Structure 1
């Protein structure tokens, strides 16, 4: 009996070994086949210039003689990997299923509200940037200078942030900037007004910008500060330009479908306007670029995106002009202001390389508004170009 059991067990062991061998050979062949398919697919697939999901340019195949060839080639392989965008999206979904609430410095909050992480660079950096603004005012003593430093959704609708998310306090940062500005610069505080409407749709769910309704709150605050009457929302033609806008934060984590945003335009009525993109030597007759609604970054429908210098001229209040030194938060703010100023100059110091001092002098500028969101102001150093 023992002999039969021993024989039977021996047969079973042989079958198990044979099965395991066949299984592992099959898995190995499938892996090699898949690897072969991916290699062939990578070879025959054309390189992409731009990633719609990540909203950035991709690394193309570098020349062997190029500087940092190995580093660039590794980036090239990573960027041009077959079906890379699908893998990025899949990874983000798996991370969420596993309970991860932060991907690439983007927090995923309640109702899938996305938030930028905010980390103060340093107190010295903050004070140095304020000193540059103060010095700008001192060097242009005749200028009427105002400053809006806008908070982001991270501080205004922070009740949807993941619990105990270690973000720094944007409002404290903004107040510190305000405290260190000289009295000759008027700081226009908008965070309390934005908080009043935090339950409204004033920040996008998938993008780092405020919505057009959020921008209107800042516009209204600005008009009160300069003593002019703000136009009512009803004075503008309101159009929902898109119901499926996925913004910069979705792009950053490569995740779409959990939420989508509505992109609303407030179009000034009876406004004859010329928008001059100076460096690009092109002129348009609208504050909005409808072709951008067909692209990934639909927020660029406002003023066609960011440019070094834009000059906007219309036939209303032709005796009033203003220079706005800005980041992209100003782009959906400007259409409101076009009802009050006949000429608006927009300078983005991230791209503008000419002398700002000469521009102000040559165009007889008397009024300047600095308009930044707190995250860009904190992270970006282009404000130091204010002294150029």
Structure 2
């Protein structure tokens, strides 16, 4: 028998080791694949992803028509991606690797700056379509003597720009875009309520959530105070709430906001503490959603039930966004009807405004597809006494939507 040389023995050992390693990898891959397929086929589907804050695509029901027109395969592919076994674990693992191994400072367009999560805008906007809408809308309101105001809330990236918080390698055009928005408002001859004049006096943590793109209830109340101060001459019987009459309430547990869900928890230094404000004697209003779905409060306390670490507590304000929400005082203090054209920044402010105006109607054009409303006709036909746009300054995409519903 031929004796193998030492070199040949080494090669033989390497081949055996390589065979064992390759076999382990192959069978491990096959095992994971079949396990994943088994879980996908027979496991329990998840309707939502708490960590991402969105609904997940569920497995489609097969039909010949959906298969032939391609919708079945599209939905199946989306559900296969969304229903991956241990999806949240893989998302967090990827984010941890990106931050701690690859040292990536940003994830999904969000950056952590001293604990504050920020999503700088890099695309300049002139708000041209919104400017056209505001001119046309203002002209229609002038015909029926309805005053129009625009309360402009500064977004977190604008605050960060003013305070020079962004590192040199991060580009942000948010402040410039805000200037363009204000120029369009003034060109439309709409009264501008620049909320940055008041809010700019405070530190970011007093106004904004650190992990969410919204402002805190306390910041929203400061904005409400400025709005009421500037509307006071036109609506003298609309009494403003006093902060001393408000009670601050804190939610148990951490709050990981929208920005935390976008960037992933691996990038979050500390969660927020979620607080909300309520008059010491309670709110005195009722809310109707999308017409005659009534009997709600401006604070939806159901949000506080069955919570997780990723519960969106911001939905306590008005119970989320609706195409139309009407807030009516149970014992009207005046007969003023204020129409608010809004985004989600307005939600906590609506509860405060409802204590000052006999009736407040809030319209959110982002949801008109499910419940369409003609804005101008609504104002003319429902005895509206004033119109208040209440938006943050990142609304470049809303111009065309507003135009369609003028």
Q: Give TM-score, length-normalised by structure 1.
A: 0.89
Q: Does 1:337 align with 2:337?
A: no
| Count, aligned residues | 379
Cα separation, 2, equivalents of 1:325 and 1:199: 26
Instruction: Give 1:230 shift.
Output: 4.1
Take 2:202 and 2:321, find their aligned partners in 1: how far apart are those partners?
28
Asked if 1:262 corresponds to 2:265, the answer is no
Post-superposition CA distance 1:213-267 (Å, at most 9, x none): 2212211221221126643322112111244111112222343664311221111
Aligned to 1:189: 194
- Say if 1:182 and 1:163 are closer, same or farther in 2 by CA, change over 3 A: closer
Match of 2:85 among 69, 79, 82: 82
C-alpha change, 1:339 and 1:260, in structure 2 (3 Å) is same
User: 1:241 maps to which residue?
Assistant: 251
Q: 1:91 to 1:80 in 2, by over 3 A?
A: same
| C-alpha contact (below 8 Å) 1:243/1:261 kept by paired residues | no
1:142-157 equivalent positions in 2, closer than 5 A: 142-157=145-160
Equivalent residue, structure 1, for 2:303: 292
What is the CA–CA distance in structure 2 between the aligned matches of 1:369 and 1:282, rounded to whole Å?
23
Q: Match of 1:380, SS?
A: helix
Equivalent positions of 1:213-252 (< 5 A) are: 213-227=218-232, 230-252=240-262
Q: Is 1:354 the counterpart of 2:346 in the alignment?
A: no
Corresponding position of 2:70: 68
| In 2, Cα distance between equivalents of 1:150 and 1:355 | 25
* Mapped pair 1:367 → 2:386: yes
- Aligned-partner Cα distance in 2 for 1:240–1:323: 30
SS at match of 2:133: helix
What is the Cα deviation at residue 387 of structure 1? 5.0
Instruction: State the distance in 2 between where 1:211 and 1:246 align.
Output: 13
Q: Which runs of 5+ in 1 are unaligned?
A: none
Write the distance in 1 (CA, Å) between the matches of 2:376 and 2:188. 21
Residue 138 of structure 1 corresponds to 139
Equivalent residue, structure 1, for 2:263: 253
Aligned 8 A contact 1:268 1:335 in 2: no
Q: 1:386 to 1:237 in 2, by over 3 A?
A: farther
Structure 1 residue 280, shift from structure 2 partner = 6.2
**Aligned-residue CA RMSD (Å):** 2.4
Counterparts in 2 of 1:242 and 1:349: CA distance versus 1, 3 Å: farther
The 5-angstrom pairing of residues 26-45 of structure 1 reads 26-45=24-43
Structure-2 separation of matches of 1:358 and 1:78: 44
In the alignment, the residues of structure 2 paired with residue 91 and residue 103 of structure 1 have an alpha-carbon distance, to the nearest angstrom, of 11
Q: Partner of 1:7 in structure 2?
A: 5
- Please state how far the C-alpha of 1:304 moved relative to its aligned partner: 0.3
Change (3 A) 1:87 1:160: farther
Where does residue 91 of structure 1 map in the other structure? Answer: 94
Q: Give TM-score, length-normalised by structure 2.
A: 0.86
1:305 aligns with 2:320: yes
Query: What is the alpha-carbon distance in structure 1 between the residues aligned to residue 400 and residue 223 of structure 2?
Result: 23
Alignment partners' CA distance in 2, 1:44 and 1:177: 52
1:113-142 residue CA offsets vs partner (Å, 9 max, x unmatched): 21123134543xx12211211210111111
> Which structure 2 residue ranges, 5 or more long, are not aligned?
none
Instruction: Give the superposition deviation at 1:193.
Output: 2.3
CA-to-aligned-CA distance 1:25-53 (integer Å, 9 cap, x gap): 12222222222222212222122222222
